[in-house]
Structure formats: C-alpha cells, structure tokens
Chains A and B, each alone.
Chain A
Amino acid sequence: MLGLSKKDTSLLIAVAVLVALAPVLLNPFPENSALAQFNAGYPDLMQRFVIFGIFAIGFNILFGLTGYLSFGHAAFLGAGSYAGVWMLKLLTINVIPAILISTVVAGLFAILIGYISLRRSGIYFSILTLAFAQMSFALAASVLTPITGGETGLQTALNDPRILDGVNDSGNIPAPNLFGLEMGDSLQVNVAGWLWTFNAGYYVAGIIMLIAFYVAIRIFRSPFGIMLRAIKSNQQRLNYTGLNTRPYMLACFVISGMYAGLAGGLMVAMDPLAGAERMQWTASGEVVLMTILGGVGTLIGPVLGAGLIKYFENIFSKINSNLLHKWFSFLPDGLEDFVVTIIYPFIGKGWHLTLGLMFMGVIIFLPGGLVELGQRISRSFSKNKNDAAEQKPAE
C-alpha cells in the first residue's frame, strides 16, 4: 500500500491507530482516582508527543542514516517557530501558511548552516552545528530583538495586520485555526469516570506527523536512503564508487532541518508564542536523547523516545513531596519520611536525574534503545514458541 512493503505498511497503520486512539490510551486511569496523576491524555501533552515526534523523526534521518551528529538542530526548530509566528501575525491566523513557511524557512537556514558545517565530519561537525545554534540563540535573544521579540519572545497581538483575515473588531486576539477549526477546540467525553479529551490541534498535528512518518519511511527505503546509510558505513568507498557524498549530505541535512522547522511551525500553531530558549543547546541535546533512547536508525524509535521523554518531563515533574507523603502514608512515620527523602530528588524538579539514570541504563544495556527492548521481548516470546524462523529487525 502507498508504495510500501507489507511490514512498513503495517507499521504505518499501527502508528496511525495509536495516534488516533491516543486520547483514550493515554488516559488509562479514571478521572478521580489516585493514579489520574499519571494520565497523559490531555491536549497540551499529546500535542507535544507528536510534535517532538516529528522533530525526532527528522533528526533521525540525519543521525540515524548518516551518523552525522548535529548538536544544533534546535536552531531549525526555533527558526521555524519565529517564521510561523510571523505568518500568524502578518498573513493570516490560519495555521496552514504558518506551517508551510516555517518548514521552508528552516530548510533555507539549513542550507546555510549545512553548507558550512558539512565541510567537516565527526566531532568537528557536531561542534560546528552547536556553535551555529548557540550563535542563533544569542542573536535571537539580543541583536535580533525586533524580529524575535528578544527574551520576552514573539507572540501574536491584537493590532497585527493579518492582511488575509480582514478587520478584526472582536477585541480579542484570534486563536490559531484551520479554516475556522480552532486548535484549542476540544471534545470532552466522559465515560463512567474516564474523561477523554479529543483535541483539534492534536489531531491536526497527529495527521501531519503521520505524513512526516510516511515520508521518512519512503526516504529510508529509497536509493537516496541507501546512499546515506553507505555514507555512515564507508564514506571513502562511496567516493571511489563514483558518488559525490557532499550533495547527499547537504540534501539530508536540509530535509532533517525542514522536519525540525515543521515541528517548530506546529508548536506555534498550537500556541502562538516563540522564544529564544527554543534554540538553546539543551533543546538540541533533548532531541539527541530522544533519538538514542528510542533507537537510532530505526523508524519508530525516535517517536517512542520523544514520547517517553515528554511524558517524564510532564508527569514526573508534577509529583511533589506532598503527593509522595500521601502515597507512602501507609508506612510507619519514620520509614515514610525516609522513603520520601530517598525518592524526592528523582521527582519534581529532579526529573532530569531520573532521565539521566534511564539514559545511562539504555546506553549500557540496550544500545538499540526501546526498539531493541521490544525486539528482545518479542524474540524471547518466539523462542518460547520454538519458532526457528530468522528474526528480522522490527523497525
């Protein structure tokens, strides 16, 4: 189907089903139960899952296929965000132009940075991209304030021209919409204590993520994709085989940058605000973590990694000491305090500590990330069934 192999088609369908049912699947606990804390099925977080999924898919096209580790991918995310907000300010509050233009602007920006950075490989390439991203961050936060809004960030305002939208006399800043469907619109369904929120913005972003995922599969299976993998494997051989690796690398870098720009555009389509911190090196590092945690070079890995990190960031960081005390109140007083003291550094603001430990565990025990974990589990199952069939990597 759609020019994909059977295996890839079923993967795409599986992802599509998960995206469609996420509002239900991510809310496994009834609204008023003690565990409702762990529900992730609210619009803001689900939007982040799919948007960072796109970011990580794009990053993986570069890092997973060619092995070139960009440490400045957040620059494209930020550039896309700014371009998107400007479209929402100047052109129309409809999100389509914003998303398209952010992708294009990030692509152009990637041509510039890629052309220079790709003169080097390995650690030098990483450092060059990092330097560019930090320069972009510094510029956005200071010199370019008229364009970027400086440290306060760039957002939509009441008196923006929005030339396509006509006169706005409602007295409110219009909310981003898709031909009238506001991104913040939600349909809430309450079934026997479970509350499910079906959010318009989430589904718009989700559909775009599915398209982005589909395109990524096509790239992985294309002659272009095979050349990129060959670059990772043996660049010298490729040169002596009559292929000019530089345009391949640049094209890959630009595609990857456009994915980041698309993610940036979607971010502002959901919430029309762009700040310079979106370009900071921590944001670049985050996408590296997502990709490695999920599984470098696999199709689904980056999406899983993005989901996992965003889940931890939002859920773990919300747990506070009161809540811990409540959970462990069944323990004798002294012991309760002791347990809470031990766990406390790993939650709330300390969620990075948990993330760090998890990351170390994955690197040491599961170099292939979550995808490898899945493969191992399915392999141990098929072994139990005495299935001697050769295992193929379940990308």
Chain B
Amino acid sequence: MGILDIKDVGKRFGGLQALSDVTLNVEENTCHAIIGPNGAGKSTLLNCLIGKLIPDTGSVMFDGQSVLGRTPYEINQLGISRVFQTPEIFGDLTVFENMMIPIFAKRDGAFALDAISDFMSHKDVVEQAENELEEMNMADKRHMHAASLSRGDKRRLEIGMCLSQQPRLLLLDEPTAGMARADTNNTIDLLKEIKEERDITIAIIEHDMHVVFSLADRITVLAQGTPLVEDVPEKIKGHPKVKEAYLGESA
C-alpha cells in the first residue's frame, strides 16, 4: 500500500460518468504522474484529492487517513501541499512574507491568535524562510512584491512555499501549463532537483506527456474517467493503448 491510496473512486455529474473505478497507489518517495487527454477526468480526480469534490463511490486514503469530507486546510495539515495550475501566491506581500506564511501554518496549525509578537521576531520561522529562499535561488528577490515576479519565478516561489512545509506529498496540477519553453524546462529541472534532494512523494497531474517522461517513476494514463495503463515511463511511451487514447482510434 502506498502513501496515497485511491480505491474504486467514481464520480458522476448528471449524465456524465466523469470517473469510474479509479484505483491507484502512489508509493512513498516516488514521483507518480497521472496523464491523459482532455476530458479524461484528471481535474475531477484532483478535486477529489484536495477536498473540493466528494466522490460518489470509493475511498481516498492518505497515510491511513481518509481525506474525503475534509476541508482544504485540514488536508494540507495532513501533509499534502498543492501547487496550482496558475501560480497561486500572495501577490500583495513580499516574497519573504510569502515564504513565512506556510512556515507559520506548519508550526502553529490552522489558527493561532498571535496578534502581539512581531512576525520578524520569530527567529525560527525567519531562518527557515531564509534557507528556503536560498534553496530556491530567490534570496535576492526577498523584498520584491510577489505580484511583480516573472511567471517562472512565481512558480518557483509557489513550489518553495509548498516545500517549506515539508509535506509528505506534493501535488502538482499541470505545473507547466501556459509556460514558455524555457520556463517549462526550468520548472522540470527544479522538480528533478527536489526529487533527488528531498524525501518527498510527488504526484503530478499533466496533460503533456513529454513533461513527465524524464521526471516520473511511474505513470498512470487516464482515459474517459478510468485508468488505462500504469507502468514505468519507458513502457508507456510505445504502448498501443496510450497512442490510441491520445490520438484516436485510427492511429
């Protein structure tokens, strides 16, 4: 059994069976990619993992605990950090303040009424935020407003914010969607680096299979709401069923 255990998950929207019998395991300290063509049910599956949707059937267990029916912040507190399709950061705050918030959240829990101490006086948080910015090569941008960062840097910051919480599972939703080629490559390199340097499980939902081939240890191909094949990247590449799903019957 893996750290993330999705079992028989089904979800129906009116007449559309968006997901049916989705069963997949994400092993600890691996990178698992879930790919599929448009309409395969990737987003629906993701929303079931993060508390936005509750599936009609099946279960989603994270490290032995069900995530179903939990709110986004509770799921984060379990150890799942999420990276969004378009970088979601605190644009009005500085890069450094952005980095401090998740560390506070990790240290103090979902709510702490500390309205008296100065946030810069929390030496442990400041130090960790500094280290994390150093790791992300963003130390020189610490006083910038996050909104004024480039798209690639916003993504870097967002990933750094997620990593600063030392999550057990990092969940990425099409992390390179809409990015220029250079930014895409930077992001992939960054993720490879993270994978090598940290004990972390990564799950990536992605449309473009080329992004994940060099990164993933295992790939699950989703088509029409159900897993088609699951294997190592080399085997997925030439798999006839995958070709069919992506290119249509005639291929």
Taking the closest CB of chain A, its distance from the CB of B116, in whole angstroms, is 6
- Of B104-112, B132-140, B216-224, the one touching chain A: B104-112
Q: Report the Cα distance A238→B97, complex, angstroms.
A: 13
B119 at the interface (CB under 8 A from A): yes
Q: Report the Cα distance A240→B73, complex, angstroms.
A: 5
The listed residue (A4, A5, A219, A238) touching B101 by CB distance below 8 A is: A238
Question: For chain B, which range describes its interface: under 10, 10 to 19, 20 to 34, or 35 or more residues?
Answer: 35 or more
Contact call B115/A224, Cβ cutoff below 8 A: yes
Taking the closest CB of chain A, its distance from the CB of B205, in whole angstroms, is 15
B196 at the interface (CB under 8 A from A): no
Taking the closest CB of chain A, its distance from the CB of B249, in whole angstroms, is 39
B193 at the interface (CB under 8 A from A): no
Taking the closest CB of chain B, its distance from the CB of A9, in whole angstroms, is 12
Taking the closest CB of chain A, its distance from the CB of B82, in whole angstroms, is 5
Contact call B115/A219, Cβ cutoff below 8 A: yes
A273 at the interface (CB under 8 A from B): no
A221 at the interface (CB under 8 A from B): yes
8 Å CB interface, A242-261 against B? 242-245, 247-248, 251, 255
Question: What residue in chain B is nearest A236 (Cβ atoms)?
Answer: B88
Question: What residue in chain A is nearest B77 (Cβ atoms)?
Answer: A242
A239 at the interface (CB under 8 A from B): yes
Q: Report the Cα distance A293→B82, complex, angstroms.
A: 39
Taking the closest CB of chain A, its distance from the CB of B178, in whole angstroms, is 18
Chain A 1-25, CB-CB to B under 8 Å as 1, else 0, gives 0011100000000000000000000
B114 at the interface (CB under 8 A from A): yes
Contact call B90/A237, Cβ cutoff below 8 A: yes
A225 contact set on B, CB distance < 8 A: 115, 119
Interface residues of A, count at CB 8 A: 31
A384 at the interface (CB under 8 A from B): no
Question: What residue in chain B is nearest A248 (Cβ atoms)?
Answer: B111
Contact call B114/A239, Cβ cutoff below 8 A: no
B30 contact set on A, CB distance < 8 A: none
The answer to whether A224 and B113 touch (CB under 8 A), given A230-B90, A239-B72, A243-B105, is yes
Taking the closest CB of chain A, its distance from the CB of B225, in whole angstroms, is 25
Contact call B117/A222, Cβ cutoff below 8 A: yes
The answer to whether A224 and B114 touch (CB under 8 A), given A230-B90, A240-B72, is yes
Contact call A240/B122, Cβ cutoff below 8 A: no
B117 contact set on A, CB distance < 8 A: 3, 222-223
Contact call A233/B118, Cβ cutoff below 8 A: no
The answer to whether A241 and B114 touch (CB under 8 A), given A225-B119, A233-B93, A234-B88, is no
Residue of A219, A226, A236 with most chain B CB atoms under a 10 A cut-off: A226
Residue of A221, A241, A244 with most chain B CB atoms under a 10 A cut-off: A241
B176 at the interface (CB under 8 A from A): no
A243 contact set on B, CB distance < 8 A: 73, 101, 105, 110-111
Contact call A240/B76, Cβ cutoff below 8 A: yes
B161 at the interface (CB under 8 A from A): yes
Taking the closest CB of chain B, its distance from the CB of A189, in whole angstroms, is 39
A229 at the interface (CB under 8 A from B): yes
The answer to whether A242 and B115 touch (CB under 8 A), given A223-B122, A229-B93, A234-B90, is no
Chain A 199-232, CB-CB to B under 8 Å as 1, else 0, gives 0000000000000000000110111111101101
Q: Report the Cα distance A229→B127, complex, angstroms.
A: 21
Contact call A241/B92, Cβ cutoff below 8 A: no
B105 contact set on A, CB distance < 8 A: 241-243
The contact sample of 19 A-B pairs, CB cut-off 8 A, is A218-B116, A218-B118, A223-B104, A223-B114, A223-B117, A223-B119, A224-B115, A225-B115, A230-B93, A230-B97, A230-B101, A233-B90, A234-B88, A237-B84, A237-B88, A237-B90, A241-B102, A241-B161, A242-B105
Additional A-B contact list (11), CB under 8 Å, known A218-B115, A230-B97? A218-B116, A224-B112, A226-B104, A233-B90, A237-B89, A241-B81, A241-B102, A242-B73, A242-B102, A243-B105, A244-B111
